[in-house]
Protein backbone atom coordinates (compact mmCIF):
# COMPACT_ATOMS: atom_id res chain seq x y z
CA UNK A 1 0.00 0.00 0.00
CA UNK A 2 1.49 3.29 -1.04
CA UNK A 3 1.42 6.04 1.60
CA UNK A 4 0.22 9.32 0.11
CA UNK A 5 1.13 12.50 1.93
CA UNK A 6 0.86 16.10 0.73
CA UNK A 7 3.33 18.95 1.26
CA UNK A 8 1.81 19.84 4.63
CA UNK A 9 4.92 18.72 6.49
CA UNK A 10 6.73 21.62 4.82
CA UNK A 11 4.25 24.12 6.25
CA UNK A 12 4.59 22.47 9.64
CA UNK A 13 8.35 22.92 9.53
CA UNK A 14 8.04 26.49 8.31
CA UNK A 15 5.56 27.37 11.07
CA UNK A 16 7.71 25.69 13.70
CA UNK A 17 10.82 27.57 12.54
CA UNK A 18 8.89 30.84 12.37
CA UNK A 19 7.62 30.53 15.93
CA UNK A 20 11.08 29.63 17.25
CA UNK A 21 12.66 32.49 15.29
CA UNK A 22 10.20 35.10 16.54
CA UNK A 23 10.46 33.90 20.12
CA UNK A 24 14.25 33.98 19.94
CA UNK A 25 14.37 37.46 18.44
CA UNK A 26 11.81 38.89 20.84
CA UNK A 27 12.66 37.14 24.06
CA UNK A 28 16.09 35.53 24.00
CA UNK A 29 18.02 38.09 21.97
CA UNK A 30 15.90 41.16 21.36
CA UNK A 31 17.28 44.13 19.47
CA UNK A 32 19.19 46.33 21.90
CA UNK A 33 18.48 50.04 21.70
CA UNK A 34 21.39 51.66 23.44
CA UNK A 35 21.43 54.96 21.62
CA UNK A 36 17.90 56.09 22.25
CA UNK A 37 16.47 59.57 21.94
CA UNK A 38 14.63 61.59 24.60
CA UNK A 39 11.24 60.71 23.05
CA UNK A 40 11.80 57.07 24.05
CA UNK A 41 12.32 57.90 27.72
CA UNK A 42 10.06 56.49 30.40
CA UNK A 43 7.28 59.01 31.19
CA UNK A 44 8.87 59.82 34.56
CA UNK A 45 12.20 60.56 32.91
CA UNK A 46 10.45 62.51 30.14
CA UNK A 47 8.92 64.69 32.84
CA UNK A 48 12.35 65.17 34.41
CA UNK A 49 13.80 66.02 31.01
CA UNK A 50 11.02 68.55 30.39
CA UNK A 51 11.61 70.13 33.78
CA UNK A 52 15.33 70.34 33.02
CA UNK A 53 14.56 72.12 29.75
CA UNK A 54 12.36 74.61 31.58
CA UNK A 55 14.89 75.23 34.34
CA UNK A 56 17.69 75.61 31.80
CA UNK A 57 15.51 78.12 29.93
CA UNK A 58 15.04 80.06 33.15
CA UNK A 59 18.80 80.04 33.58
CA UNK A 60 19.88 81.10 30.09
CA UNK A 61 16.72 82.66 28.60
CA UNK A 62 17.42 81.04 25.24
CA UNK A 63 13.98 80.27 23.82
CA UNK A 64 15.30 78.84 20.56
CA UNK A 65 17.41 76.34 22.40
CA UNK A 66 14.54 75.43 24.72
CA UNK A 67 12.21 74.89 21.74
CA UNK A 68 14.79 72.72 19.98
CA UNK A 69 15.09 70.64 23.13
CA UNK A 70 11.33 70.35 23.50
CA UNK A 71 11.11 69.09 19.94
CA UNK A 72 13.25 66.13 20.95
CA UNK A 73 10.46 64.94 23.25
CA UNK A 74 8.09 64.87 20.26
CA UNK A 75 5.09 66.15 22.22
CA UNK A 76 2.15 66.98 19.99
CA UNK A 77 1.72 70.30 21.74
CA UNK A 78 4.82 71.20 23.75
CA UNK A 79 3.11 74.15 25.42
CA UNK A 80 0.19 72.00 26.58
CA UNK A 81 2.58 69.32 27.80
CA UNK A 82 4.47 71.92 29.82
CA UNK A 83 1.25 73.32 31.28
CA UNK A 84 -0.01 69.86 32.19
CA UNK A 85 3.28 69.05 33.85
CA UNK A 86 3.20 72.32 35.77
CA UNK A 87 -0.24 71.35 37.13
CA UNK A 88 1.01 67.92 38.10
CA UNK A 89 4.07 69.49 39.70
CA UNK A 90 1.84 71.70 41.87
CA UNK A 91 -0.15 68.66 43.00
CA UNK A 92 3.03 66.70 43.66
CA UNK A 93 4.41 69.64 45.66
CA UNK A 94 7.47 69.94 43.46
CA UNK A 95 9.78 72.92 44.14
CA UNK A 96 8.22 76.27 43.39
CA UNK A 97 11.05 77.17 41.03
CA UNK A 98 10.33 74.14 38.85
CA UNK A 99 6.62 74.98 38.66
CA UNK A 100 7.41 78.58 37.75
CA UNK A 101 9.89 77.47 35.12
CA UNK A 102 7.39 75.08 33.52
CA UNK A 103 4.66 77.72 33.55
CA UNK A 104 6.94 80.41 32.17
CA UNK A 105 8.23 78.24 29.35
CA UNK A 106 4.71 77.04 28.52
CA UNK A 107 3.52 80.63 28.21
CA UNK A 108 6.56 81.66 26.18
CA UNK A 109 6.27 78.70 23.80
CA UNK A 110 2.53 79.33 23.35
CA UNK A 111 3.16 83.01 22.61
CA UNK A 112 5.89 82.14 20.13
CA UNK A 113 3.52 79.70 18.45
CA UNK A 114 0.79 82.32 18.20
CA UNK A 115 3.18 84.83 16.71
CA UNK A 116 4.38 82.32 14.18
CA UNK A 117 0.81 81.45 13.23
CA UNK A 118 -0.04 85.12 12.84
CA UNK A 119 2.93 85.66 10.55
CA UNK A 120 2.09 82.69 8.39
CA UNK A 121 -1.63 83.38 7.94
CA UNK A 122 -2.85 85.81 5.26
CA UNK A 123 -4.61 87.85 7.94
CA UNK A 124 -1.93 90.48 7.66
CA UNK A 125 -3.05 91.22 4.12
CA UNK A 126 -6.50 92.17 5.34
CA UNK A 127 -4.93 94.34 7.99
CA UNK A 128 -2.75 96.12 5.48
CA UNK A 129 -5.50 96.60 2.91
CA UNK A 130 -7.49 99.70 3.75
CA UNK A 131 -11.17 99.06 4.25
CA UNK A 132 -13.50 100.24 1.49
CA UNK A 133 -14.11 103.95 1.69
CA UNK A 134 -11.12 104.63 3.85
CA UNK A 135 -8.83 107.47 2.92
CA UNK A 136 -5.54 106.54 1.37
CA UNK A 137 -2.69 108.55 2.88
CA UNK A 138 -1.39 110.89 0.21
CA UNK A 139 1.99 111.46 1.69
CA UNK A 140 3.10 107.88 1.49
CA UNK A 141 5.87 107.33 -0.96
CA UNK A 142 5.13 104.60 -3.42
CA UNK A 143 8.09 102.28 -3.76
CA UNK A 144 8.14 100.41 -7.01
CA UNK A 145 8.54 96.70 -6.74
CA UNK A 146 12.00 95.79 -7.96
CA UNK A 147 12.33 93.50 -10.91
CA UNK A 148 13.98 90.18 -10.32
CA UNK A 149 17.20 91.24 -12.02
CA UNK A 150 17.43 94.18 -9.59
CA UNK A 151 17.21 92.00 -6.56
CA UNK A 152 20.12 90.61 -4.66
CA UNK A 153 19.29 87.00 -4.14
CA UNK A 154 20.47 85.73 -0.82
CA UNK A 155 20.23 82.03 -0.17
CA UNK A 156 17.99 81.08 2.72
CA UNK A 157 19.83 78.82 5.07
CA UNK A 158 18.06 75.55 5.68
CA UNK A 159 17.85 75.10 9.43
CA UNK A 160 20.02 72.24 10.51
CA UNK A 161 18.64 69.74 12.92
CA UNK A 162 21.60 70.32 15.18
CA UNK A 163 19.91 68.95 18.23
CA UNK A 164 19.22 65.62 16.61
CA UNK A 165 22.42 65.26 14.70
CA UNK A 166 24.12 62.01 15.43
CA UNK A 167 27.58 62.62 16.78
CA UNK A 168 30.29 61.33 14.60
CA UNK A 169 33.23 60.40 16.69
CA UNK A 170 35.83 60.70 14.01
CA UNK A 171 39.02 60.07 15.89
CA UNK A 172 41.59 62.61 14.97
CA UNK A 173 44.81 61.13 13.73
CA UNK A 174 46.67 62.72 16.58
CA UNK A 175 44.69 60.75 19.16
CA UNK A 176 46.25 57.55 17.94
CA UNK A 177 49.68 59.08 17.79
CA UNK A 178 52.21 58.10 20.39
CA UNK A 179 53.58 60.61 22.83
CA UNK A 180 56.93 60.71 24.56
CA UNK A 181 57.89 62.41 27.78
CA UNK A 182 59.56 65.70 26.92
CA UNK A 183 59.71 67.31 30.33
CA UNK A 184 59.37 66.47 33.99
CA UNK A 185 59.30 68.86 36.89
CA UNK A 186 58.81 68.25 40.60
CA UNK A 187 56.43 70.94 41.85
CA UNK A 188 56.38 72.44 45.31
CA UNK A 189 53.57 74.96 45.25
CA UNK A 190 51.33 75.52 48.23
CA UNK A 191 48.75 77.11 45.97
CA UNK A 192 48.14 73.77 44.27
CA UNK A 193 46.39 70.76 45.81
CA UNK A 194 48.94 68.50 47.49
CA UNK A 195 50.15 65.54 45.43
CA UNK A 196 48.78 66.91 42.18
CA UNK A 197 50.01 65.30 38.97
CA UNK A 198 49.73 67.74 36.08
CA UNK A 199 50.02 66.59 32.50
CA UNK A 200 50.24 68.60 29.34
CA UNK A 201 50.19 66.91 25.95
CA UNK A 202 51.34 68.67 22.81
CA UNK A 203 51.27 67.65 19.18
CA UNK A 204 54.27 67.72 16.88
CA UNK A 205 53.61 71.42 16.18
CA UNK A 206 53.65 72.22 19.89
CA UNK A 207 49.91 72.79 20.16
CA UNK A 208 47.97 71.30 23.09
CA UNK A 209 45.93 68.20 22.25
CA UNK A 210 42.52 67.54 23.78
CA UNK A 211 40.89 64.13 24.13
CA UNK A 212 44.01 62.05 24.71
CA UNK A 213 43.28 59.10 26.97
CA UNK A 214 45.69 58.65 29.83
CA UNK A 215 45.64 55.78 32.28
CA UNK A 216 46.92 56.10 35.82
CA UNK A 217 47.57 52.75 37.49
CA UNK A 218 48.58 51.86 41.01
CA UNK A 219 48.65 48.72 43.13
CA UNK A 220 45.06 47.63 43.24
CA UNK A 221 43.50 49.98 40.75
CA UNK A 222 43.62 52.19 37.71
CA UNK A 223 41.81 55.25 36.45
CA UNK A 224 41.48 56.54 32.91
CA UNK A 225 41.01 60.22 32.15
CA UNK A 226 41.34 62.58 29.23
CA UNK A 227 43.03 65.82 28.40
CA UNK A 228 40.86 68.79 27.60
CA UNK A 229 38.59 68.58 30.62
CA UNK A 230 40.01 71.77 32.09
CA UNK A 231 39.74 74.08 29.10
CA UNK A 232 40.43 77.12 31.26
CA UNK A 233 43.99 75.90 31.76
CA UNK A 234 44.76 74.30 28.37
CA UNK A 235 43.05 71.94 25.94
CA UNK A 236 46.00 69.58 26.38
CA UNK A 237 45.91 69.66 30.16
CA UNK A 238 44.80 66.98 32.57
CA UNK A 239 45.50 66.41 36.23
CA UNK A 240 45.19 63.66 38.78
CA UNK A 241 45.15 63.78 42.55
CA UNK A 242 47.79 61.35 43.83
CA UNK A 243 47.56 59.95 47.32
CA UNK A 244 50.74 60.13 49.48
CA UNK A 245 52.53 56.82 49.85
CA UNK A 246 51.00 55.35 46.68
CA UNK A 247 53.24 54.77 43.67
CA UNK A 248 51.61 55.31 40.30
CA UNK A 249 52.43 54.58 36.70
CA UNK A 250 51.07 56.61 33.83
CA UNK A 251 50.42 55.68 30.24
CA UNK A 252 49.61 58.41 27.75
CA UNK A 253 47.65 57.60 24.62
CA UNK A 254 47.19 54.17 23.12
CA UNK A 255 50.80 53.51 22.31
CA UNK A 256 52.70 56.00 24.41
CA UNK A 257 55.44 55.17 26.87
CA UNK A 258 54.63 54.28 30.46
CA UNK A 259 56.05 56.52 33.16
CA UNK A 260 56.57 54.67 36.40
CA UNK A 261 57.42 55.65 39.97
CA UNK A 262 55.12 58.65 40.21
CA UNK A 263 54.33 59.55 43.79
CA UNK A 264 53.94 62.73 45.85
CA UNK A 265 57.15 63.97 47.43
CA UNK A 266 57.80 66.10 50.47
CA UNK A 267 58.37 69.79 50.08
CA UNK A 268 59.70 72.26 52.61
CA UNK A 269 58.14 75.70 52.98
CA UNK A 270 61.05 77.11 50.96
CA UNK A 271 59.97 75.03 48.03
CA UNK A 272 62.69 72.38 48.01
CA UNK A 273 61.92 68.72 47.99
CA UNK A 274 63.05 66.61 50.91
CA UNK A 275 62.09 63.07 49.93
CA UNK A 276 59.27 60.62 49.58
CA UNK A 277 57.30 58.31 51.78
CA UNK A 278 57.23 59.76 55.30
CA UNK A 279 54.51 62.21 56.10
CA UNK A 280 55.62 65.82 56.22
CA UNK A 281 55.33 67.58 59.55
CA UNK A 282 52.14 69.61 59.48
CA UNK A 283 53.70 73.01 60.09
CA UNK A 284 56.81 72.86 57.98
CA UNK A 285 56.36 70.61 54.97
CA UNK A 286 53.72 69.54 52.51
CA UNK A 287 53.20 67.08 49.67
CA UNK A 288 54.40 68.29 46.32
CA UNK A 289 53.25 67.24 42.90
CA UNK A 290 54.70 66.42 39.52
CA UNK A 291 54.34 68.20 36.21
CA UNK A 292 54.86 66.15 33.08
CA UNK A 293 54.96 67.31 29.50
CA UNK A 294 54.51 64.97 26.58
CA UNK A 295 55.12 65.65 22.92
CA UNK A 296 53.96 63.75 19.89
CA UNK A 297 56.70 61.53 18.48
CA UNK B 1 14.88 6.89 -1.29
CA UNK B 2 11.82 8.99 -0.75
CA UNK B 3 11.93 9.22 3.05
CA UNK B 4 15.36 10.96 3.42
CA UNK B 5 14.19 13.59 0.95
CA UNK B 6 11.19 14.36 3.08
CA UNK B 7 13.38 14.81 6.19
CA UNK B 8 15.69 17.08 4.26
CA UNK B 9 12.88 19.27 3.03
CA UNK B 10 11.34 19.29 6.48
CA UNK B 11 14.66 20.59 7.91
CA UNK B 12 14.89 23.15 5.12
CA UNK B 13 11.39 24.40 5.86
CA UNK B 14 12.24 24.74 9.56
CA UNK B 15 15.37 26.72 8.69
CA UNK B 16 13.40 28.94 6.33
CA UNK B 17 10.77 29.53 8.99
CA UNK B 18 13.48 30.31 11.53
CA UNK B 19 15.09 32.79 9.17
CA UNK B 20 11.75 34.45 8.48
CA UNK B 21 11.02 34.59 12.21
CA UNK B 22 14.36 36.24 12.96
CA UNK B 23 13.92 38.78 10.18
CA UNK B 24 10.45 39.58 11.49
CA UNK B 25 11.60 39.87 15.10
CA UNK B 26 14.81 41.78 14.49
CA UNK B 27 13.99 43.89 11.42
CA UNK B 28 10.29 44.10 10.56
CA UNK B 29 8.84 44.30 14.03
CA UNK B 30 11.61 44.45 16.63
CA UNK B 31 10.98 44.85 20.32
CA UNK B 32 10.41 48.54 20.91
CA UNK B 33 11.98 50.15 23.94
CA UNK B 34 9.72 53.02 24.77
CA UNK B 35 10.39 53.37 28.47
CA UNK B 36 14.13 53.77 28.49
CA UNK B 37 16.21 55.50 31.18
CA UNK B 38 18.46 58.50 30.44
CA UNK B 39 21.51 56.23 30.71
CA UNK B 40 20.48 54.71 27.36
CA UNK B 41 20.46 58.07 25.60
CA UNK B 42 22.75 58.62 22.68
CA UNK B 43 26.01 60.44 23.46
CA UNK B 44 24.89 63.79 22.01
CA UNK B 45 21.66 63.75 24.03
CA UNK B 46 23.63 62.83 27.14
CA UNK B 47 25.95 65.76 26.49
CA UNK B 48 22.97 68.09 26.12
CA UNK B 49 21.48 66.68 29.32
CA UNK B 50 24.74 67.48 31.12
CA UNK B 51 24.79 70.93 29.53
CA UNK B 52 21.27 71.65 30.81
CA UNK B 53 22.43 70.57 34.25
CA UNK B 54 25.45 72.87 33.94
CA UNK B 55 23.24 75.79 32.84
CA UNK B 56 20.97 75.29 35.83
CA UNK B 57 23.95 74.89 38.16
CA UNK B 58 25.41 78.16 36.89
CA UNK B 59 22.19 79.87 37.99
CA UNK B 60 21.36 78.15 41.28
CA UNK B 61 24.78 76.81 42.41
CA UNK B 62 23.05 73.75 43.82
CA UNK B 63 25.79 71.16 43.44
CA UNK B 64 23.88 68.41 45.24
CA UNK B 65 20.98 68.66 42.85
CA UNK B 66 23.28 68.90 39.83
CA UNK B 67 25.15 65.83 41.01
CA UNK B 68 21.88 63.95 41.49
CA UNK B 69 20.73 64.86 37.99
CA UNK B 70 23.99 63.67 36.49
CA UNK B 71 23.72 60.26 38.15
CA UNK B 72 20.82 59.63 35.76
CA UNK B 73 23.31 59.41 32.90
CA UNK B 74 24.65 56.13 34.25
CA UNK B 75 28.32 57.07 34.27
CA UNK B 76 30.67 55.91 36.99
CA UNK B 77 30.48 59.27 38.75
CA UNK B 78 28.72 62.60 38.08
CA UNK B 79 32.14 64.11 37.35
CA UNK B 80 32.76 61.48 34.70
CA UNK B 81 29.40 62.35 33.11
CA UNK B 82 30.43 66.00 32.80
CA UNK B 83 33.90 65.10 31.52
CA UNK B 84 32.34 62.87 28.89
CA UNK B 85 29.98 65.70 27.96
CA UNK B 86 32.95 68.06 27.53
CA UNK B 87 34.61 65.61 25.16
CA UNK B 88 31.40 65.02 23.23
CA UNK B 89 30.74 68.75 23.17
CA UNK B 90 34.16 69.39 21.69
CA UNK B 91 33.55 66.75 19.04
CA UNK B 92 30.18 68.32 18.20
CA UNK B 93 31.54 71.85 18.14
CA UNK B 94 29.85 73.25 21.23
CA UNK B 95 30.51 76.94 21.76
CA UNK B 96 33.24 77.96 24.18
CA UNK B 97 30.56 79.38 26.48
CA UNK B 98 28.89 75.98 26.73
CA UNK B 99 32.20 74.23 27.28
CA UNK B 100 32.98 76.78 29.98
CA UNK B 101 29.67 76.02 31.71
CA UNK B 102 30.47 72.31 31.69
CA UNK B 103 34.00 73.02 32.87
CA UNK B 104 32.69 75.10 35.76
CA UNK B 105 30.45 72.25 36.84
CA UNK B 106 33.33 69.77 36.48
CA UNK B 107 35.53 72.00 38.63
CA UNK B 108 32.87 72.17 41.31
CA UNK B 109 32.46 68.40 41.28
CA UNK B 110 36.23 67.92 41.40
CA UNK B 111 36.32 69.96 44.57
CA UNK B 112 34.17 67.35 46.29
CA UNK B 113 36.08 64.97 48.63
CA UNK B 114 38.27 62.62 46.56
CA UNK B 115 37.69 58.90 46.33
CA UNK B 116 40.30 56.33 47.35
CA UNK B 117 43.27 55.88 45.03
CA UNK B 118 43.18 59.32 43.49
CA UNK B 119 40.93 61.43 41.37
CA UNK B 120 41.40 62.61 37.81
Tell me, yes or no, whether B45 and B101 share the same domain.
yes
Tell me, yes or no, whether A123 and A178 share the same domain.
no
Q: Is residue A152 part of a domain?
A: no
A171: pLDDT confidence band, cut at 50, 70 and 90? very low
Q: Complex ipTM above 0.85?
A: no
Q: Is residue B85 part of a domain?
A: yes
Half-sphere exposure (Cβ direction) of A285: Cα atoms closer than 13 Å = 19
CB proximity A73 to B under 8 Å: no
Tell me, yes or no, whether A290 and A191 share the same domain.
yes
Q: How much is the pLDDT for A214?
A: 85
- C-beta atoms of B60 and A211 within 8 A: no
Q: Is residue A140 part of a domain?
A: no
The total number of structural domains in chain A stands at: 2
Q: A167-181, A275-289, B30-44: which has the highest mean pLDDT?
A: B30-44
Q: Is residue A3 part of a domain?
A: no
Range of the domain at A226: 174-296
| Mean pLDDT value across residues A4-19 | 82
CB proximity B112 to A under 8 Å: no
Tell me, yes or no, whether B81 and B24 share the same domain.
no
Tell me, yes or no, whether B81 and B61 share the same domain.
yes
Mean pLDDT of chain B: 86
Tell me, yes or no, whether B6 and B51 share the same domain.
no
| CB nearest B91 (choices: A35, A167, A221) | A167
Tell me, yes or no, whether B27 and B54 share the same domain.
no
Tell me, yes or no, whether B14 and B43 share the same domain.
no
Tell me, yes or no, whether B20 and B64 share the same domain.
no
**Min Cα–Cα distance to chain A from B110, Å:** 10
Tell me, yes or no, whether B22 and B8 share the same domain.
yes
Tell me, yes or no, whether B42 and B15 share the same domain.
no
Q: Over pLDDT 70: what percentage of chain B?
A: 87
A150: pLDDT confidence band, cut at 50, 70 and 90? very low
Any idea which of A182-186, B32-36, B57-61, B69-73 has the lowest mean pLDDT?
B32-36
Is pLDDT of A40 > 80?
yes
Which residues of chain B does A15 touch, with a Cβ-Cβ cutoff of 8 Å?
A: 17
Tell me, yes or no, whether A181 and A99 share the same domain.
no
**Min Cα–Cα distance to chain A from B53, Å:** 7
Q: Over pLDDT 90: what percentage of chain B?
A: 48
| Mean pLDDT value across residues A43-51 | 94
What are the two backbone dihedrals, phi and then psi, of residue A179, each rounded to the nearest 5 degrees? -120, 145
**Min Cα–Cα distance to chain A from B92, Å:** 6
Is pLDDT of A34 > 80?
no
B113: pLDDT confidence band, cut at 50, 70 and 90? low
Q: What is the C-alpha to C-alpha distance for residues B82 and B80, in angstroms, rounded to an integer?
A: 5
Query: Which of 45-64 (B) contact A at CB < 8 A?
Result: 45, 47-49, 51-53, 55-56, 58-60
Determine which of A16, A25, A230 to mutate to test the interface with B (most B C-beta atoms within 10 Å).
A25
Q: Which of A248, A247, A250 is nearest to A259 (CA)?
A: A250
Q: How much is the pLDDT for A132?
A: 47
Q: Over pLDDT 70: what percentage of chain A?
A: 70
The total number of structural domains in chain B stands at: 2
Is pLDDT of A103 > 70?
yes
| CB nearest B118 (choices: A49, A216, A229) | A216
Tell me, yes or no, whether B69 and B83 share the same domain.
yes
- C-beta atoms of A48 and B103 within 8 A: no
- C-beta atoms of B21 and A168 within 8 A: no
Range of the domain at B1: 1-32
Total beta-carbon pairs less than 8 A apart between chain A and chain B: 214
Any idea which of B35-44, B52-61, B68-77, B108-117 has the lowest mean pLDDT?
B108-117
Q: Is residue B116 part of a domain?
A: no
Kindly tell me the sign of the dihedral angle through the C-alpha atoms of B9, B11, B14, B20. negative
Q: Is residue B68 part of a domain?
A: yes
CB proximity B74 to A under 8 Å: no
Q: Is residue B44 part of a domain?
A: yes
CATH of the domain at A241: 2.60.40.10
Any idea which of A159-168, A263-272, B65-74 has the lowest mean pLDDT?
A159-168
- Stronger pLDDT, B36 or A89, i.e. the higher one: A89
Amino acid sequence: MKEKRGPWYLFTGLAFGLVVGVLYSWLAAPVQFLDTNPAALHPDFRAEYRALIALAYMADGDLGRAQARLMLLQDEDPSAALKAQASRAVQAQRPEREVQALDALAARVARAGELQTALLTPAEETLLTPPPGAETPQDLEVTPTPRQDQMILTPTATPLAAATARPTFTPRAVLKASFALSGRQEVCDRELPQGLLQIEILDSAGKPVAGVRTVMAWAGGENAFYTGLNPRISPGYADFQMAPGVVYSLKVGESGETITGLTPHQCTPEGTQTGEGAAPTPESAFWGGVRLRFAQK
Amino acid sequence: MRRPNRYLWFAVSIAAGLALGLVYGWVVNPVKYVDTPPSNLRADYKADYALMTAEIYAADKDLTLASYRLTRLGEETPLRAVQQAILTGRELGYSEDDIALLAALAEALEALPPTAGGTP
